[in-house]
Structure 1
């Protein structure tokens, strides 16, 4: 039997919209790396990123910086869906543990909230390969600041 705490309420103040998220990414680093938002739901946001010449390091592996850019994109985008219109979220700290190499294909990242407060947020981001194996786990801390 489901109890209220089995499915926490969505932290999103604004209804997540894939078309809007992808449109906001045009002509940015997000677009340059081929990141595409693919799923939003109560309490999560997901995007994919190709492992190709744009995202690999010289040894043919997914660049750790590319994984971090995907992680910060997911966490920051999710965080900004949780704040009033007069506020924005900006990253103040991110860490990443690179667990497995990826050489090709597509990786998928999903961000979920750990803490959504009035002045800070903390997001957990997990990036997996096409077989569902963990490639990178990351934690992003955001500051909630006045817009403008």
Structure 2
């Protein structure tokens, strides 16, 4: 896991450089925000295309922020030569906001040989909890054994 925001940004940039098409992180505009001993956080601004009819973040954008932050965390702790495939998610939408950014913070709950479970919370810029979630990942081999 990265231990500094610089390492986090470099790791995120290296991962994104391997993708040669526009994908969901482009749409969401997620950027590294912070990292700690066991956490990684990404931020997302409230762009017009991420709003629901009431002007707040859409549920899908909040889910996306949680999902991608959890997946990137799982990528950092997965076995070398594997990719974490999400096989289960549980989200509770607790609140919403009319202003950005939101901050998605992921931390591992369990890291095993084949399964990773992560907790991801999404909060507003003032720390108000908007989403509480858990994700379960299956660590799938990406290279021949």
- Please state which band the TM-score falls in when normalised by the shorter chain: 0.7 to 0.9
The normalised TM-score by structure 2 is 0.85
Which of 126, 132, 135 is 2:130 aligned to?
135
- Corresponding position of 1:39: 34
Aligned 1:108-123 pairs, distance under 5 A: 108-123=103-118
Give the CA deviation at 1:47.
0.3
The normalised TM-score by structure 1 is 0.83
3-state SS of the aligned residue for 1:17? helix
3-state SS of the aligned residue for 2:77? coil
The question of whether the paired residues in 2 share the 8 Å contact of 1:18 and 1:39 is answered with no
Distance 2:130 2:13 in 1: 23
After the TM superposition, which segments of 4 or more aligned residues of structure 1 sit over 4 Å from their partners?
none
1:1-55: per-residue Cα shift (whole Å, max 9, x none)? xxxxxxxxxxx4x775322314534732112211101222221110000122121
Which of 50, 59, 66 is 2:61 aligned to?
66
Segments of structure 1 that go 5 or more residues without pairing to the other structure are 1-11
How many residues of Structure 1 are paired with residues of Structure 2 in the alignment?
A: 136
- Corresponding position of 1:9: none
Specify which structure has the higher proportion of helix. 2
Segments of structure 2 that go 5 or more residues without pairing to the other structure are none
